A and B are shown apart, each in its own frame.
Chain A
Amino acid sequence: MKISLARLSGTVATLFTFALLFSSHQMPAQFAGASASAGSTLTIPVAQILQPEALHHLMLTPGGEKPLILQVGSHLLYAEGHIPGSEYVGQGSQAAGLKQLEDRVNALPRKKPIVLYCGCCPWNRCPNLGPAFAKLHDMGFTNVKVLYLADNFGTDWASKGYPVEQGR
């Protein structure tokens, strides 16, 4: 059987594409719902996890209600780079940070779409997202997503070419 270069390259390209897709997008299920180790309390249901490309798409899509995007990690890292339009609301791992988060969202309708993100350190080590997500859940918010940044904000958002804003 004769296999042309075109067909061979098509097959390899397809396999390569699948390898890329699965290597970068199948991680959340492994972490979601499981208590992370060492310094993290991360327990995010799979359905609430949002991929970076999905959030970026949402930001670019005209019309519709835009989510309130909140950074719940380090203020210094937020100052170095954050998602345009996002707000810093304190560290989710600290009581003062959770109070700041509560104050920011308290007056909002409970169906308001909210996206939480951090990216301070690897996803399964993040100490901030779990408590912040739990706080919003306890307050009755029903449309909360958490941005999945596998390694950190620099690697999984900034270096991927998604928009970044600097400043506090």
Chain B
Amino acid sequence: MSRAASGNALRKVGDLEKVIGIPRPALRSLIPLRFLFLVWLGVSTVSACSAASSLVQKAAPEFVRSDLNHRRVDLRAYRGKIVLLNFWATWCAPCQLEMPRFIAWQNKYGPRGLRIIGISMDDDPAMAGSLVRKLKLNYPVVMGDEKIGHLYGGVMGLPITFLIDKQGRVQAQYQGETDLNSIEEEFKLLLGP
């Protein structure tokens, strides 16, 4: 089987020789490098898929906004707390699956210093407000826009949640449907005993 694969590879080398004009022996010597190239390609593709990595271990971009109850939300004022910053929207089904858990976390870990902040990426604040009331969210929700989306590396799909430590540094980013148990374990480590 490996012989067949190798044979196919050599035929491709022959084709490549015709196209780019590099002598066949030189191309043959490059065959072992293909594996390294493909590994690199795979790794770079995976990392590129996670826009998250661009903010991890960096200061969380600051913002000041009014929440849906007209209370001021200043991220800087949350220093000393562990913050879960959750981008969501009413049209995002996975986002709504997370919310009951966030409510429970805010109740359970709030006294230990956990603060959850929601950022609604809805086009219509009324829709966000309606869902906030329906689910009885116990944490502040501010309306998002392109500006805050760009600040956080481009919010081009939901949900996205950032875990921010007591120093205001992003420790993790969770994109898409994520195992909530693992998020809980990670912020518990930051909360300490």
Interface residues of A (CB under 8 A from B): 3, 5-14, 16-17, 20, 38-40, 73-77, 79-81, 91, 93, 119-122, 125, 127-128, 151-161, 166
Contacts and interface: CB of A to CB of B under 8 A. Distances in A.
Interface residues of B, number: 46
B9 A76 contact: no
A93 B91 contact: yes
A3 B2 contact: yes
Interface of B: 1-3, 5-6, 8-9, 28, 31-32, 34-35, 38-39, 41-42, 45, 48-51, 89, 91-97, 121-123, 144-146, 149-150, 154-159, 175-177
Nearest to B39: A16
Contacts, number: 146
Contact of B157 (A20, A40, A120): A120
Contact of A125 (B9, B48, B93, B150): B93
The B interface, classified by DSSP as helix, strand, loop or mixed, is helix
Contacts of A153: 156-157
Given A9-B34, A9-B35, A20-B42, A159 B49 contact: yes
Contact of A16 (B3, B35, B49, B156): B35
A90 B14 CA distance: 51
Given A79-B146, A80-B146, A161-B48, A39 B96 contact: yes
B97 A91 contact: no
A5 B38 CA distance: 16
Given A10-B34, A16-B42, A76 B123 contact: yes
Contacts of A9: 31-32, 34-35
